Amino acid sequence: MRMVLFGPPGAGKGTQASSLSQKFGVPHLSTGDMLRAARKAGTAVGQKAASFMDGGKLVPDDVMVGVIEERIRLPDCTRGFLLDGFPRTIPQAEALNRMLANHGQKLDAVLSLEVSDGLVVDRLAGRWTCPVCQATYHKVTLPPKLSGKCDKDGAELIQRSDDTETAIRKRVEVFHEQTDPLKEIYRSEGLLKSVDGVGTPGEVEERIRQALGA
Ligand code: AMP
């Protein structure tokens, strides 16, 4: 299964990706998580990406295509992958098609999580993330059992450096300008499955299951 999870920041892609990746037995490849790990490790890619990320802007296409090209060549991707946060521009989508075609492969589905801009801003502004396992919480709708601590590993939760009001607004604007147009391309290729992303994670998971016929 080679699938793209598509949707604005805060649509719930990361939350749904965990269960989908288990269901299909393929790795969850989040470019945002990869870049955050690269920043933490102080790699050249991480250093290049930092200022773009904090400003809510996109990291240049050549950097991102390099990151994904290297990642999907690893053996755990032989049976497929779940892309979360890539592609985000038309050149990235074209590069992905080329990479796959070079190996006689293609995408099986693009799952679009539909959420309004207002809800995205509310979700991201109240989001707390575990820096260890990347689990996400929300101060009102999904608080951790113990205030400020991850339910899974007890780590101190953090607010992402790009989950500030200004960066969130920029990220939503960038999504509409540069990423949303990909939806029409994937629709015309017959790959797009749209799912209402409003509801509890369980409700959205059920809609995804129906949309994929899985
Ligand atoms: P995310 O965790 O998916 O919201 O990504 C966080 C940030 O990482 C984005 O706001 C971008 O700055 C950067 N980023 C992640 N994926 C990409 C991509 N495919 N293209 C460009 N920038 C990206």
pLDDT averaged over the chain? 93
Tokens describing residue 197: 């992303």
CA 31 to ligand 1 center in whole angstroms = 6
* Distance from Cα 121 to the centre of ligand 1, integer Å: 16
Per-residue pLDDT, 181: 95
pLDDT of residue 160: 87
Active-site annotation holds for 2: no
* Residue from 36, 59, 70 whose mutation best tests the ligand 1 pocket (most atoms within 8 A of CB): 59
Q: Is 71 a catalytic residue?
A: no
d(CA 149, CA 62): 37
Q: What is the pTM of this model?
A: 0.91
171 labelled catalytic: yes
SS3 194: strand
- Beta-ladder partners of 30: 84
Distance of CA 199 to the CA centre of its chain: 18
Condensed to tens digits (0 to 9), the pLDDT of residues 103-115 reads 899 999 999 999 9
pLDDT tens digit string along 149-189? 999 999 999 998 888 889 999 999 999 999 999 999 999 99
- Over residues 6-54, the pLDDT tens digits come to 999 999 998 899 889 999 999 999 999 999 999 999 999 999 999 999 9
- Burial grade of 52 (CB within 10 A; 0-12, 13-18, 19 or more): middle
- What integer pLDDT is reported at residue 186 of this predicted model? 96
